[in-house]
Structure 1
Amino acid sequence: MFHGFCPAESGYWNGQGGRKFYHDGVHWDGFASMERDVRAMVADPRWPLTGAPTRADAIARRALATADGVCWLFGAYARWYRLDPDGQWHLSAPPAGSPIRGNTRPVTVPIPYWVVPTGPDFSVDRGSTQAFVGPDVPAEVTERIRALIIAHRGLRREDFPLTGGPFREVFAAEVASTVAAVWGTVMWCAYAPAFDGNEVILSMFGEFLARPLPGDEFVRWLPPVTLTDLVDLYAERCRSGFPDAGLQLAGLMAQTAHVLRADARFRPRATALIAMIEPLLTQPWLDHTALQSGAVAHSWLLRCPANLAAAALSETSPGDHFRHVFYDLVEALAYTAETGADPRQVAAALLAADVAAVSTDAVTYLYPWMDDGIRQALYAALAEPGHTLRDCWPVDGLLPPALTPPDRSTAAALLGAAYATGLAWCELAGATPPTTGFPVAAAVGQCLVHNRDDLPREPTTTPRKRVTETTSDWLYSS
Structure 2
Amino acid sequence: MAAVQWDPFDAIERDVRDMVADPRWADVPAATQAQAMAARLLLTPDGGCWLFGSYARWYRHDKVEGEWHLSAPPADARARAVARPIHPAPPVPLHLLPCAADFAFDRGSTQAFVGPDVPPHITERIRALLDAHQGPRAEFPFVTGPLRAVFYADVPASVAAVWGTVMWCAYAPAFDGNEVLLSMFGEFLARPLPGDDWVRWLPPMPLNALVALYADLLRGEARGSASRLAALVGDTARVLLDDSRFRPRAAALLAMVEPLRDQPWPDHPDQDAAAIRAAWLARCPADLRGAILVETSPGEHFRHSLYDMVRALSFVCAHGADPRAVAASLLAADVQAVAPGVAARLYPWLDAQLRQTYYVTLAEPQHPLRGCWPRAGEPPEALRPPDRASAAALLGAGYATGLAWCRLTGTMPPPRGFPTSAATVSCLIHERDDPLPGVPGTSSEWIRHT
- What are the superposed Cα offsets for residues 330-377 of structure 1, whole Å, 9 maximum, x if unpaired? 000000011110000000000000000011122222111110000000
Which residues in structure 2 correspond to 1:398-417 (within 5 Å)? 398-417=378-397
CA distance change for structure 1 residues 449 and 113 in 2, over 3 Å: closer, same or farther? same
Q: 1:371 aligns with which of 344, 351, 359?
A: 351
- Distance (Å, rounded) in 1 between the aligned partners of 2:285 and 2:425: 35
Q: 1:103 corresponds to which residue?
A: 82
- What are the superposed Cα offsets for residues 231-266 of structure 1, whole Å, 9 maximum, x if unpaired? 111110001111111111111000000000000000
Does residue 40 (structure 1) correspond to residue 18 (structure 2)? The answer is: yes
CA distance change for structure 1 residues 414 and 136 in 2, over 3 Å: closer, same or farther? same
- Distance (Å, rounded) in 2 between the aligned partners of 1:69 and 1:290: 51
The answer as to whether partners of 1:61 and 1:109 remain within 8 angstroms in 2 is no
Does residue 336 (structure 1) correspond to residue 325 (structure 2)? The answer is: no
CA distance change for structure 1 residues 241 and 88 in 2, over 3 Å: closer, same or farther? same
Task: Report SS of the residue matched to 2:406.
Answer: helix
The answer as to whether partners of 2:183 and 2:447 remain within 8 angstroms in 1 is no
The answer as to whether partners of 1:157 and 1:177 remain within 8 angstroms in 2 is no
Using structure 1 for the length normalisation, give the TM-score: 0.90
Does residue 89 (structure 1) correspond to residue 64 (structure 2)? The answer is: no
- Distance (Å, rounded) in 1 between the aligned partners of 2:271 and 2:447: 44
Q: 2:53 corresponds to which residue?
A: 75
- Distance (Å, rounded) in 2 between the aligned partners of 1:73 and 1:473: 47
Which residues in structure 2 correspond to 1:260-339 (within 5 Å)? 260-292=240-272, 294-339=274-319
- What are the superposed Cα offsets for residues 85-144 of structure 1, whole Å, 9 maximum, x if unpaired? 210000000011222211111123311111100221121111000000000000000000
The farther-off stretch of 387-396 and 153-162 is 153-162
Say how many residue pairs are matched: 445
- What are the superposed Cα offsets for residues 216-242 of structure 1, whole Å, 9 maximum, x if unpaired? 011000001111111111110001111
The answer as to whether partners of 1:251 and 1:281 remain within 8 angstroms in 2 is yes
User: How far does residue 283 in structure 1 lie from its aligned partner after superposition?
Assistant: 1.7
The answer as to whether partners of 1:156 and 1:176 remain within 8 angstroms in 2 is no
CA distance change for structure 1 residues 217 and 77 in 2, over 3 Å: closer, same or farther? same
- Distance (Å, rounded) in 1 between the aligned partners of 2:350 and 2:437: 46
Using structure 2 for the length normalisation, give the TM-score: 0.95
Q: 2:369 aligns with which of 377, 385, 389?
A: 389
Task: Report SS of the residue matched to 2:110.
Answer: coil
Q: 1:59 corresponds to which residue?
A: 37
The answer as to whether partners of 1:350 and 1:392 remain within 8 angstroms in 2 is yes
Q: 1:4 corresponds to which residue?
A: none
- What are the superposed Cα offsets for residues 398-421 of structure 1, whole Å, 9 maximum, x if unpaired? 000111000000000000000000
- Distance (Å, rounded) in 2 between the aligned partners of 1:261 and 1:372: 37
Does residue 234 (structure 1) correspond to residue 225 (structure 2)? The answer is: no
Q: Which runs of 5+ in 2 are unaligned?
A: none
Q: 2:433 aligns with which of 434, 443, 453?
A: 453
Does residue 249 (structure 1) correspond to residue 229 (structure 2)? The answer is: yes
The amino acid of 1:196's aligned partner reads D
Task: Report SS of the residue matched to 1:295.
Answer: helix
- Distance (Å, rounded) in 1 between the aligned partners of 2:318 and 2:361: 22
The amino acid of 1:89's aligned partner reads W
- Distance (Å, rounded) in 2 between the aligned partners of 1:293 and 1:256: 21
Q: 1:130 corresponds to which residue?
A: 111
User: How far does residue 155 in structure 1 lie from its aligned partner after superposition?
Assistant: 4.8
Q: 1:20 corresponds to which residue?
A: none
The answer as to whether partners of 1:157 and 1:174 remain within 8 angstroms in 2 is no
The farther-off stretch of 98-107 and 155-164 is 155-164
Q: 1:164 aligns with which of 138, 141, 145?
A: 145
The higher relative CO (CA closer than 8 Å, separation ≥ 6) is in 2
The farther-off stretch of 127-136 and 281-290 is 281-290
- What are the superposed Cα offsets for residues 135-157 of structure 1, whole Å, 9 maximum, x if unpaired? 00000000000000100111557
- Distance (Å, rounded) in 2 between the aligned partners of 1:318 and 1:55: 28
Task: Report SS of the residue matched to 2:391.
Answer: helix
Which residues in structure 2 correspond to 1:110-149 (within 5 Å)? 110-149=91-130
- Distance (Å, rounded) in 2 between the aligned partners of 1:366 and 1:129: 22
